[in-house]
Structure 1
Amino acid sequence: MSKKLIRFDWAMKKLLRNKANFGILEGFLSELLRFDVTIESILESEGNKQDEYDKYNRVDILVKSQNNELMLVEVQNDSEIDYFHRMLFGVSKLVTEYIKEGEPYGTIKKIYSVNIVYFGLGQGKDYVYEYKGEFVGLHQKDILTPTTLQKQDFKVEKVADIFPKYFILKVNNFNNTAKDTLDEWVYFLKNSEVKDTFKAKGLDKAKEKMRYENLTEEEKKMYDRFQENRRIEMSVEYTAKLEAKQERNFEVAKNLISLGSDNEFIAKATELTIEQIEQLRSTKA
């Protein structure tokens, strides 16, 4: 029977940066990108900072593979209307940071942006999205391809191989039915559990390394605080939504009272009680 493991986003901050645990992240990236990834090092990124923001619900980790590719993995729990733009900013920043002044543009490394989100980003029913950049002719509808010399020099087959590749995993859209090994990873990201039948790369190591009881006492305290902060933030967000809904209901009720609607109709339209509606009538009077 599977047991609950620590959350992946917390592990990214505290455990996955340890070379002994690289196999977990290597497995995830290999399953998602569909080729074997070996991590050479974890580079400095925004998520490395240990400050007041540490308790909140965004974390990233920047990986350099043995093939000199950069892989930015980010987990975001809270909804952000401009998240697509932040994905673009993050990759653009990497492009400029990891090319030295005076070097030819061809030295820019291939960048993968992997975004694990726990909110409704955009409109779409799937739970894994891949951005495939191609240049398509407006008139001939053909796809622009590299020259033979470019293919040889840059080791690419398509122009899209040069440009950053983006992935979005909308974890909450997943229906908990794992049909392949990538689904097994998505199941783990959503539920913090690894079933005994799962075979995906890296999950065996996650199952071993990410058990709560294997943490040090200090790590347990940090993880418990992280979980408590998350619960508090979720409660605050839920309360704010309820209060906003209640405020809208009061405004609708006031308008309906002005139009001469009876209490029963207003109650059905706003979910307010008869007592609340009567109080609004007396206040209005």
Structure 2
Amino acid sequence: MKRLKPLNDYIFKKLFGENEVKDNLVAFLNAVLDRKDRERLVTLEIVDNKELTRELINDKTAILDVRAKTEDGTQIDIEVQLTNQHNMDKRTLFYWGKLFNEKIAKGEDYKKLKKVITINILDFDYINLDKFHTKFHLWEDESKDYMLTDLVEIHFVELPKFNKLEEKNLKEDRLQRWLTFFNKDISEEKLKELMELDTDIKRAEERLEYLSSDKKTIEIYKAREKSLHERANMISSAIEEGENKKAIEIAKNLLDLLDIETIATKTGLSIEIVKSLKH
């Protein structure tokens, strides 16, 4: 039996975004939010539990996020992104704003607005800091310890940075254990170690084992993998096309200043393309 990728967004939703696996989500959130003792989440409500239809799975633009609401009304949204679209900062602010506004009607008291936490799990480097887990609030520029409001909380968890860590602390760090669990190439020995260290991960892995043996789940998983692969290729092509257009514009501006070979070297374009721009 082949272990399915936990970060395929369809599988991630089956592991954390359904009522029957609510305990998995509570455990993972306590690790990300570093909730301990009295602050620990004990229960929450799964929100917007979309029916995972074939149409939704095949939709390259569909977002299979996991949404939840805590007892005090705080909304939490978790999104897995495997492909860098170079817009994750703006994207997360856009979706944070939608969640923040959707629960208040026009004319209602702003005091009714509740905290929104967004968590982005990224399979690429994005934040220009060395740490793999970054957390953002609204702090005053000079008085760094003054927060305007705690209603905004945005997390980025970057897996490549975590995977590059030479020394990991799986015994004491719950989040590091979860990120290791997410590794699609995890060894049986490491998986066994995780399950012995953490009963929550043992429960999640047992759920993943069940999903990995279910024919219907495997069929939908493969369809989603294909859709995600096509989406990644589409994004890559769009970025490449944009870079080529920029390079061509630069080359045109250099035609009267430099020779064809130098322009080709500087822009990354072929000599044939640079020659064609002369006509």
Give me the TM-score of the superposition, normalised by structure 2. 0.70
What is the aligned partner in structure 1 of residue 132 from structure 2?
127
Judged with a 3 Å threshold, the aligned counterparts in structure 2 of structure 1 residues 68 and 8 are, in CA distance, closer, same or farther, namely: farther
What is the aligned partner in structure 2 of residue 166 from structure 1?
154
Retained in 2: the 8 A contact 1:116–1:168?
yes
Retained in 1: the 8 A contact 2:54–2:220?
no
Q: What letter is aligned with 2:278?
A: K
C-alpha distance in structure 2 between counterparts of 1:74 and 1:62, whole Å: 9
Deviation at 1:136, TM superposition (A): 9.5
C-alpha distance in structure 1 between counterparts of 2:138 and 2:243, whole Å: 41
Choose which of 218, 240, 254 in structure 1 pairs with 2:238.
240
Judged with a 3 Å threshold, the aligned counterparts in structure 2 of structure 1 residues 23 and 8 are, in CA distance, closer, same or farther, namely: farther
Retained in 2: the 8 A contact 1:61–1:74?
yes
Q: What letter is aligned with 1:113?
A: T
Judged with a 3 Å threshold, the aligned counterparts in structure 2 of structure 1 residues 95 and 176 are, in CA distance, closer, same or farther, namely: farther
Q: Which structure has the bigger radius of gyration?
A: 1
Retained in 2: the 8 A contact 1:30–1:201?
no
Deviation at 1:128, TM superposition (A): 1.2
Give me the TM-score of the superposition, normalised by structure 1. 0.69
> Which ranges of structure 1 fall in alignment gaps of 5 or more residues?
145-158
C-alpha distance in structure 1 between counterparts of 2:114 and 2:266, whole Å: 57
Q: Choose 197-206 or 218-227, whichever is displaced more.
A: 197-206
Deviation at 1:188, TM superposition (A): 3.8
Retained in 2: the 8 A contact 1:5–1:211?
no
Deviation at 1:230, TM superposition (A): 1.0
Retained in 1: the 8 A contact 2:7–2:80?
no
C-alpha distance in structure 1 between counterparts of 2:32 and 2:174, whole Å: 9
Q: Percent identity?
A: 19
Deviation at 1:69, TM superposition (A): 4.6
Q: Render the CA deviation track for 1:108-161: whole Å, top value 9, x for unaligned.
A: 6654332324455554332212234567997xx9859xxxxxxxxxxxxxx96x
Q: Choose 233-242 or 249-258, whichever is displaced more.
A: 249-258
Q: Render the CA deviation track for 1:176-230: whole Å, top value 9, x for unaligned.
A: 4333331232344464747323235632222221237634322211110100011
Give the count of matched residue pairs.
Answer: 258
What is the aligned partner in structure 2 of residue 216 from structure 1?
214
What is the aligned partner in structure 1 of residue 97 from structure 2?
89
C-alpha distance in structure 1 between counterparts of 2:70 and 2:199, whole Å: 16
What is the aligned partner in structure 1 of residue 18 from structure 2?
18
What is the aligned partner in structure 1 of residue 254 from structure 2?
256
Q: What letter is aligned with 2:176?
A: D
Q: What letter is aligned with 1:266?
A: I
What is the aligned partner in structure 2 of residue 155 from structure 1?
none
What is the aligned partner in structure 2 of residue 284 from structure 1?
278
Equivalence map 1:163-202=2 (5 Å)? 163-177=151-165, 178-179=168-169, 180-189=173-182, 191=184, 193=186, 195-196=190-191, 197-198=193-194, 199-200=197-198, 202=200
Judged with a 3 Å threshold, the aligned counterparts in structure 2 of structure 1 residues 67 and 240 are, in CA distance, closer, same or farther, namely: closer
C-alpha distance in structure 1 between counterparts of 2:269 and 2:146, whole Å: 58
Secondary structure of the structure 1 residue equivalent to 2:255: helix
1:37 paired with 2:30, answer: no
Retained in 1: the 8 A contact 2:9–2:80?
yes
Judged with a 3 Å threshold, the aligned counterparts in structure 2 of structure 1 residues 200 and 260 are, in CA distance, closer, same or farther, namely: same
Secondary structure of the structure 2 residue equivalent to 1:28: helix
C-alpha distance in structure 1 between counterparts of 2:234 and 2:145, whole Å: 52
Judged with a 3 Å threshold, the aligned counterparts in structure 2 of structure 1 residues 83 and 201 are, in CA distance, closer, same or farther, namely: farther
Q: Render the CA deviation track for 1:73-120: whole Å, top value 9, x for unaligned.
A: 2334453352242243144135527xxx98994x76654332324455
What is the aligned partner in structure 2 of residue 156 from structure 1?
none
How much is the aligned-residue C-alpha RMSD, in angstroms?
Answer: 4.0
Secondary structure of the structure 2 residue equivalent to 1:129: strand
C-alpha distance in structure 2 between counterparts of 1:131 and 1:257, whole Å: 46
C-alpha distance in structure 2 between counterparts of 1:124 and 1:232, whole Å: 30
> Which ranges of structure 2 fall in alignment gaps of 5 or more residues?
none
Deviation at 1:7, TM superposition (A): 2.5
